[in-house]
Structures are given as C-alpha cells and as structure tokens.
Structure 1
Amino acid sequence: MSDGTIGPEGRVVTFIDLGTNSFRMLIVRLNPNHSYTILSRQKQQVRLGEGEFEAEEITLAAMERAVIVAKMFVDLARTFHTEEFVAVATSATREASNQNELLHRIRQEAGLDIRVISGREEARLIYLGVASAIHLAGRRIFCIDIGGGSTEIAIGDAQGYTHLDSFRIGAIRLANTYPSPDERGIVGPVQQKKIQQHVRNAIVHATAAIRSLKPECAIGGSGTIMNLAEIAGKAHHPASVTEPRSNGLTLKYKEVKKLIELLSPLTLEQRRRVPGINPERADIIIPGAIILEVFMKELGLLEISVTSRGLQDGLLVDYLSRMDNFPLMGELTPRQRSVLQLGRSCGINEIHARTVTNLVLEMFDSAKTKKLHDFSDAERELLEYAAFLHDIGSFISFTNHHAHSYYIIRNSELLGFNDREVNLIAMLARFHRKKSPRKKDTFVTDLDPRDQRALRLLSCFLRLGESLDRSHAALVQHVRFTAANKDTARLEIQARGECQLEIWGIENEKRAFEKAFGRNLVFSVMENPSS
C-alpha cells in the first residue's frame, strides 16, 4: 500500500478479485473530504477453475482467458487515472500447482501484481464487505459466500467476526467432481445425493461450532445465491418485465429445495431458458444450490437474506480502515457511515446539516416528554438521517432541491437500511420545505398508517429545524418544548444575538404545526447566557 496521500482532486484506487468463476473489479475515488465515490464496477466470467480441481492445475485455455481479462481490467482502470491497484486471487489460484506461471504472466502482460489469499483471509474480507453494509443492532450474523472453488463462512457482530472458516466445496469444483452422466446435462437423484453427501462430509465438524455460537440471522452473498434469489423472484412475479433485484430479498429453505427440484430434471439448454437464471451459470447452479441447501438444513436456517456485497467490498473497507485519512471507518455504524458518505459525496453544507439535525432531535425528544408524540428511537434515527441529508438535492440545483433530495436519497445505495426506511428518510427530506404532506398525496397514501402519521408529524420538526437555521449561521443553539396541553404547545428558543430571519421562518410554519399536531404553536426567544 502507498502512503495513501489524497490530493485536492482525490485519489483513485482499483480493487480486483480474481475468483474461480468470475473476475471482479471496483474502481473508487477517495475524496479529500473523507468520502469515496464508486467510479465503476465490472464483472467478467473467466472460469479460471474449469477443469482444474482434479489435476490441480489451471488449464492453458483458462490461463489465457485470465490474462486477457486482467489486461482488460487494468486498461480500463487506467482510463480512470488509477494510482494504485489492490488485487487478490482466491481458491483456483491458491490450489494450482502452476500458480506461479499464472501470476508471472499477469504481472508481465497486464502489469498487475496479485496477492494470493488464504481461505480464512477470504472469509475475513467477505465478512468486512457484508457487515459494513448491515444494520446489526446487537445481532450476531452467519455469513456465507459460495464461490466456484470454495465456500467461506463467518460469524460475527458489530464488534467484528468471532468465527471464520473456508471449505473446499464450490459450484465449479462439485460440477467437475460429479459430472452429469446424461449428455444433455440433467442432474439425476443419484448425482444430487452424491453432491449432498460430499457437502455434509466437508462441513460436519464445523456445524456444531457454528450452532454453539447461536447466530440470530443468516446472510448470503456470491453470484450463486444472488442468482437463486433472482430465479425465485421471477417465480413469484412471472409477469415482471424488469430485471429482478436480489438485494434485499430473502430466500427460504423450502424455496431452495423447490429450485433444486425444478432445475435438476431440466437439460442444460432448458435451464438456460428458466426465467431469472444467468445462462452462464446454468451448468453450475445446481451444485451451488445444493451447497446452500445442506448448510441451511444442517444449521436449521429457515431463511437467508441476500446481498450483493462480497470480497471486493471487503477489500475497500479493509483499505480504508488502515488509512489515517478515513478515521471514521471504525467509529461509525454502517448506517452512519453510509449517510455521511452520501452527504459528503454530494458536497452538503455539513455545518448547517449538523446544526439542523441537533435542533430537530432536541425538538423530537422534548416533544415526546410533553406527550406530543409517541414515536420510538427507530423513528428518531430515521429523522436524524433525514435532517442531515435534507439539503442534499442542492447538488443538482437549489431550485426545487427538496424534490431532488428525495430523488437522490431514494435512488442511492444507503447501506444498512431496508426499502421502507430509505423511503421514509427520502420523504421527510422531500417535505422539509414548500408544501407540507397532505393525506391525499400519492406520496403519502402509499405509506402504511403509522408511517403516514410519522411523515406528517416528523416533517414538522424538520421544517422547524430548517427555519431555525435559516441564515445558516447557527444563531439558534438550543430549542425545546416546555409545555403542551390540548390547545397549545410552547417552544423555547435559545439564540445568540439577533435571529430575525429564524423568527420569520418559525412564524411561517405555525399553521403547518397546528394542522399536524392540532395545537397552536407559541414560541419565545431567549438569549443564551453561554453565548
């Protein structure tokens, strides 16, 4: 690794994962404000492990494909002015007797130095990539990634991993070990049972240890699991004309079993035409599904959440955690990191954002003590993030920036949130200015009743908070509700110096407050003695 110096224009780093089935590349610009911008993600099937695992040697044809794709990736990365490459190779390379020949050719012909990592190191990096995007909330998770040559698992929580393991079972390896006797590619019951028993034997000593750690939820990555989720999604919604999204989906154990039953009797050509399937995976999808099915059965997992996060994301997280320029990587939750990253990447006014956020949360907390609302910490957290991001739409244009804020938040990859939470954050930002949300608005009617009420009331706090820093000078330092009855809510504002713009702003919001809370808003301004 270089010294990590980031100039005024940022620094571009490229991460490359040479897997057994596919090569993946992530190109990232590290920004001077401690955020990063993803410039490109690329994936290319190479089948590096094809025909390898019996002879323990990468074939000449696979090596040629690897060199061509590695050179293509490097050339593309150079067009983004990459200053540093971080490249690792996994199962197929680490087990190959001709590993050095492959590494030498890629170094000579593509100009890329590759680090071959162990199975446990692969599991560690996968865990970093997955856990950095999940709201763990005190839960212990079981993470599984089914590759072409190996399967990695990890168990951990917000503090880090507690168990790592790697098994020499993968979709390509098992497809090579137990080839279909049927020339059409049908996978019969005998072949299925052989693969199942192979997987059970491979993991038998690990399952007891995994069960003893009592993970509370399971998360699966890798192309195999994602593609199974996409096939299951198409089965549930056959009329969908859009590509299914695997992120955020859940695969149930009974669905995995049904998919094996569905796909096994089909010929290879028939499998390639199954809705949702990646045709390039048709020959290895069944062994991959069986690996997942056995793990779920042996561990008693009724369902598993699906993520696109994996090794290359872990490489990025690991890289940033070692840099002095990114000290927040280890101090924030995935949600906090994701919100901060989005805000900084769009150049928000962070001082104003934090001022408004603090004022909004003071109002939320004091209003709750006066029984103006009964919302929980869950809604408080979403309000906090909406307040921080409320002006992010100015990145596009100040005109109608509240609408742009909604669009950016709704369509950004906010890690650690589910779709409902992202939508509510975006909606709160949407209504921080101009018209208040109305019951008949389509925006509102699409929400469930509790979220409709949350939007109406919490957007009031955000509108008041924005008004209280109308000058962007942080003149208002504290605000709280001091009393409330069935007719009136009293708001006390502590300011330093003259804050006439802020007072006018509050006056403009009194009607919206009365409509939302059914009370008149009465406020008083006090000079903060500490100012």
Structure 2
Amino acid sequence: MELTLPAATRQSISPRPGSALHRVAAIDVGSNSIHLIIAEARPGERLRIIEREKDTVRLAAGLTETHHLTDEKIKAAVATLRRFTDLAHAHDVTAVLVVATSAIREAWNRDVFLQRVEQEIGLKVEILPGVEEARLIALAVAEVTDFQGERGLIIDVGGGSTEFILTDGQTPTYLASVKLGAVRLQEQFLSRQDPPSRAEIEALTTYIQSGLARTVREIQEAGGFQRVVGTSGTILALAAAKPDTHSLETKAPAPKKVAFTSFASELTYAELQALNRRLQRMPHKARRKLPGVDSRRADIIVAGGILLETIFRELGIQHLTTCEWSLREGVVINYLREQGWSLSHTPLSAGDIREHSILSVARRYAYEAGHAHHTAKLAEQIFDQTLPLHGLGMREREWLRYAALLHDIGYHIAHTSHHKHAMYLIRHAELPGFHPHEIAIIANLARYHRGSLPKRKHEDFTRLLPVHQETVTRLIPILRLADALDRRHGGKVKEVIVEMQDQSLQIVPISVDNTDISLEVWCAQQVLPIWATVFPGLKVEICPEQAAPAAMYR
C-alpha cells in the first residue's frame, strides 16, 4: 500500500522542482514525544539529517483511562509544533510533513487537537493508520540496513503501540501494529509503586503475552525471520543502557569507551534480561541518572524493557541490532520519492551501504575525488603487497580505503591542521553501516595521514582498544606513502610495485607514460622513516622505475 500524503500535509512552502537541493522537515506527533527532523537531499548523496529536536510532551498521558487528550497536553503540543515549525522555516525547507500516530489515532477528541493546530499554526496533521506507520518505518530502516538477502523482523516500540514488519529490505511481507506501548503499559500497570512490585511486573508480563499472541502466531505462519532490527527511543535507550558484560563477568572496571557514536548497536537477550533486573530494582530517581537513559524516559523505561524482553522471549529472539532511522526518516523518503528523487530502489549490500556512507560524507565536504580515489587505489596496492609485514586482513584493508577517501576533507574547514579537522568531521558524521570502533579507526587514520605519529597525550588514539591502536599504527605508513605518491594530485604514479625480502622492502613507483615523477619519489622518501619506526629493523628504499630489476614488473 502506497501512502500519498495529501497536498495539505505539505505545509505552506511549495517545493522547487528540479532543485539540486531539497530540505524537508518531518514532524512526528507521538504518544510520548514530538520529534522533528530536518533532512537535506542532494544528488549523489545519502539523505542527511541536519537537525533533530525532541520534546517529551507525553500526549498519551491519561488516554487509556479517559480516551481524551487533556487541555494541558494539547496546549503543550501546540506550543512544541509552533516552535518546530519556526525552526523548519529558518532552515528554508521546501516542505513540512506532519504525521501523528497512536495517541491521536485513539483520542476521542482528536478533532479538537487537529483544529487547534491548523487554526493556530496553519499545519494540517496526517493521522497515520498503524499499518502505514509500520510501512514507513520499514522504508527508513531498509534505506540504511543490509539484510543480506535474509528475512528481517523490524520492531518499533513506541509510547502507545509497537509495530512489527517482516522484510528482506524490499517490499514488506508482513505489517502489524499492536496496542502495546511503553507509556500505555506504564500507566496501566506500573504507576502505583516505585520501584514496581513483583506482582505488578508479573501482571504486566502476562498482559503483554496475551496482547502479543496473535502477532507471534502470524509472524511464525509468515515464515519467521533470520535477523532482527529494533528502532525507536525505547529500544535505543535500552541498548545504550545495557550493562557492560566485561564488568558483569569479571567484576573488573570496564575498558574505556570509544568516544565515537554509531548508527547501530547490539542488544542480546541476556543483556536485556540483566538490564531489566537492574531497572526493576531501581527507584525513578536512580533511573534518571542511568547512562543512556534520558531523564524524561526514566519513568517508562521499565515498562518498555519488560515489553521488549517479552517480545524476545515469545518470538525466540536472541540478538537485536538497533537502527536510528525510523518513522520520521521514512516520511521524508516517501515524500522525496513522490517528488521524483531516487534514493535506493533496491536493497544495498553491507559494502554498498558503507561505501555510500563514506562517499556521502566525502561529497558533503567537497573532497577532491581524483586524488582521494587514486590515493585509495595506491594504498590498497601497497597493503596487498606488504601483507606478510603487517599481517592485517580484509576488514583492515577496507578501513584503509575509507580513510584514504576521507583523509583530506579537513580542508573544508581550513588548510592548517586539516588532518585534525578531518578527524573531527568523521567523528561527527552520520555513517550508517559502521560500528563505533570502526568510525574511531577511520578517523584516527585520517588524522595521522600527516604530522606526528600517535602519542600518549592524543586522547582519541588512546581511547582505542590496544588491538585497534596497533591496527591504526600499522596502516599509517601505508596511507602516508600512498598520499605522497600522488603529491601533485595528478595520478602520475599509476601503480606501485613492492618487493619484500626478509627485512628489506623495495618500493617501485610506476609512472604514467614515463611522466616525470621525481617530486612524488622525493615525497615518498620523506615517509620512509615512518616505516622504520613502525616496523623496527625494516630497511625500506624507493627504487626508480628505470633502476628496478626486470623481475619486479608484472
């Protein structure tokens, strides 16, 4: 079923057909929070989220008992929508898309809310049916997730409902919306005692099991699933707050966390169970201080955790991967496709998603494509021919390639210290498909493509695990040599031949049509001490093409 947002939903600002840039705002009026994203679409780039705002209005408060939105909550929601609309206009958006979900769907006085929003702000709100909400969630998740041809189950736990989708990354084969949400369940079962009693927890668990019975049966009858993706604030918060398994098992201090964010994290059934036992013993005041849990979500996180754990148990889930993109991004993607923008019509492989993420960041910061891609090509050649020396694998080769593509994006900020600026930009870029430690490694590699080698005082490097510090250190000489061999950014060195014998390394740059590459050779020679430092005892030399033994040529 295709959703066609009515013309009235595309608020006040008409799109600019044929424009090279679309900025679109999407506002999601949810049961717990009202969310705003402002997304920027450019040809050849992944959709970029340039602004995110959230206000925990809790529209669904009291709705289960009275079936009515309170005047206080309507007033707060209108104020939030006015502020979000002003912010959207300040970003010169081409459209404002406003959707509402469970709380507005079920409120008997929803027309009062809709009329006030239209009269006071000029916005028309589209109320999404539960199944359409699920479809748009699937649209967003598929844009940034590689299902590897497997059947995936997407779970979105909201304040008033939970959506379930079966998909392989293309058209969903199953869509369902169940009236089980963190706000709804907290008010019904866990609002009397703090922390909740065992009897309350057991009653809630039984209620959830009953509410899930039909959906569980339908998912099983539809063929089940092979992987699970979780979206929404509740699931993201639970994944962020999960206990450190190293600390639980060894009772030793956890290793320092890498200060890099990821588009996806992992949550196992065992981790969720351990977290829930802890949450259920903590009073609200203590939960507010728990890392990873927004203080405004602390009152509903227990109900959300029990709901997710019950879903895990009833469906036999052992492992879930989170996804930050959900309904709001799906609304934007759907709208852009209606406008003729092509984002991705077929599911991308993991490599495609990662490459697309890297190139989107590169283009965003006006990278010099010729030099970046040629540096990456030379770096891969050197990596492949020095494998016995560095002993790294294909994943490390991929990190090297991505660092080569991004190593000069710091010029977007300034020439001086551009290597440090590159690290900053990579750290704060949205990179779907990458784990935090991978973003950290790529950022560090870009940072050390020039300047000093890593030092103890460099916090971003020392935060890496020791094995990742070693990986970065071994890749630095390769990236620096590749960069030096394209010093004039002209692709004058078409390939590099490396000959290894014991502790001796002979490097032969091959020019294009016997072009003069004396500058590139000189720059490469300046990098050789780095090789000797990283690989003690190694003798390295640059051998001019004419002087190289004939046996070295392929």
**Counterpart check, 1:222 vs 2:246:** no
Q: What CA distance in whole angstroms lies between the structure 2 residues aligned with 1:374 and 1:320?
A: 45
Equivalent residue for 1:189, pick from 198, 208, 213 = 198
Q: Which runs of 5+ in 2 are unaligned?
A: 1-9, 547-554
Equivalent residue for 1:520, pick from 540, 544, 549 = 540
Deviating more after overlay: 53-62 vs 396-405: 53-62
How far does residue 439 in structure 1 lie from its aligned partner after superposition?
A: 10
- Residue of structure 1 equivalent to 2:162: 151
- Normalised to the residue count of structure 1, the TM-score between the two structures is 0.83
Change (3 A) 1:415 1:27: same
Change (3 A) 1:312 1:513: same
Q: What CA distance in whole angstroms lies between the structure 2 residues aligned with 1:114 and 1:446?
A: 46
Q: What CA distance in whole angstroms lies between the structure 1 residues aligned with 2:26 and 2:332?
A: 7
- Residue of structure 2 equivalent to 1:202: 211
Q: What CA distance in whole angstroms lies between the structure 1 residues aligned with 2:540 and 2:91?
A: 57
Equivalent residue for 2:436, pick from 392, 398, 419 = 419
**Counterpart check, 1:432 vs 2:449:** yes
How far does residue 262 in structure 1 lie from its aligned partner after superposition?
A: 4.7
Helix, strand or coil for the counterpart of 1:423? helix
Deviating more after overlay: 54-63 vs 119-128: 54-63
Change (3 A) 1:189 1:455: closer
Equivalent residue for 2:296, pick from 238, 262, 280 = 280
Q: What CA distance in whole angstroms lies between the structure 1 residues aligned with 2:366 and 2:327?
A: 29
Q: What CA distance in whole angstroms lies between the structure 2 residues aligned with 1:27 and 1:452?
A: 36
Matched AA of 2:154: C
Equivalent residue for 1:117, pick from 105, 122, 128 = 128
Helix, strand or coil for the counterpart of 2:392? coil
**Counterpart check, 1:315 vs 2:331:** yes
Q: What CA distance in whole angstroms lies between the structure 2 residues aligned with 1:492 and 1:274?
A: 55
Change (3 A) 1:328 1:475: farther
Q: What CA distance in whole angstroms lies between the structure 2 residues aligned with 1:290 and 1:192?
A: 8
- Residue of structure 2 equivalent to 1:289: 305
Equivalent residues of 2:170, 2:346 under 8 A apart: no
- Residue of structure 2 equivalent to 1:348: 367
Q: What CA distance in whole angstroms lies between the structure 2 residues aligned with 1:270 and 1:438?
A: 38
**Counterpart check, 1:14 vs 2:32:** no
Deviating more after overlay: 497-506 vs 251-260: 251-260
How far does residue 379 in structure 1 lie from its aligned partner after superposition?
A: 1.4
Change (3 A) 1:449 1:524: farther
How far does residue 362 in structure 1 lie from its aligned partner after superposition?
A: 3.4
Change (3 A) 1:113 1:440: closer
Deviating more after overlay: 397-406 vs 427-436: 427-436
How far does residue 93 in structure 1 lie from its aligned partner after superposition?
A: 2.0
Q: What CA distance in whole angstroms lies between the structure 2 residues aligned with 1:403 and 1:200?
A: 52
- Residue of structure 1 equivalent to 2:377: 358
Helix, strand or coil for the counterpart of 1:399? coil
Helix, strand or coil for the counterpart of 1:42? strand
Equivalent residues of 2:165, 2:176 under 8 A apart: yes
Q: What CA distance in whole angstroms lies between the structure 2 residues aligned with 1:510 and 1:394?
A: 25
- Normalised to the residue count of structure 2, the TM-score between the two structures is 0.80
Helix, strand or coil for the counterpart of 1:58? coil
Change (3 A) 1:339 1:273: closer
Q: What CA distance in whole angstroms lies between the structure 2 residues aligned with 1:45 and 1:448?
A: 36
Q: What CA distance in whole angstroms lies between the structure 2 residues aligned with 1:502 and 1:324?
A: 46
- Residue of structure 1 equivalent to 2:51: 40
- Residue of structure 2 equivalent to 1:401: 418
Percent sequence identity over matched residues?
Answer: 32
How far does residue 441 in structure 1 lie from its aligned partner after superposition?
A: 7.8
Q: What CA distance in whole angstroms lies between the structure 2 residues aligned with 1:41 and 1:450?
A: 35
Equivalent residues of 1:230, 1:246 under 8 A apart: no
Cα offsets for 1:263-296 (capped at 9, x unmatched): 5566666765777654433443332222111011
Q: Which runs of 5+ in 1 are unaligned?
A: 527-531
- Residue of structure 2 equivalent to 1:529: none
Cα offsets for 1:31-77 (capped at 9, x unmatched): 57746654321101122222334554434443333222212211222
Number of positions where the alignment pairs a residue of Structure 1 with one of Structure 2:
520
Equivalent residue for 1:506, pick from 524, 532, 538 = 524
How far does residue 229 in structure 1 lie from its aligned partner after superposition?
A: 4.3
Matched AA of 1:143: I
Matched AA of 1:493: I
Equivalent residues of 1:34, 1:326 under 8 A apart: no
Equivalent residues of 1:444, 1:452 under 8 A apart: yes
Change (3 A) 1:63 1:205: same
Matched AA of 1:509: V
How far does residue 386 in structure 1 lie from its aligned partner after superposition?
A: 0.5
Change (3 A) 1:230 1:515: closer
Helix, strand or coil for the counterpart of 1:469? coil
Equivalent residues of 1:483, 1:489 under 8 A apart: yes
Q: What CA distance in whole angstroms lies between the structure 2 residues aligned with 1:492 and 1:243?
A: 38
Helix, strand or coil for the counterpart of 1:501? helix
Q: What CA distance in whole angstroms lies between the structure 2 residues aligned with 1:479 and 1:328?
A: 34
Q: What CA distance in whole angstroms lies between the structure 1 residues aligned with 2:431 and 2:123?
A: 32
Change (3 A) 1:288 1:306: same
- Residue of structure 2 equivalent to 1:485: 501
- Residue of structure 2 equivalent to 1:377: 394
Aligned CA-pair RMSD = 3.9
Q: What CA distance in whole angstroms lies between the structure 1 residues aligned with 2:416 and 2:345?
A: 34
Q: What CA distance in whole angstroms lies between the structure 2 residues aligned with 1:249 and 1:419?
A: 8
Q: What CA distance in whole angstroms lies between the structure 1 residues aligned with 2:343 and 2:541?
A: 42
Q: What CA distance in whole angstroms lies between the structure 2 residues aligned with 1:259 and 1:35?
A: 35
Helix, strand or coil for the counterpart of 1:187? coil
Matched AA of 1:197: T
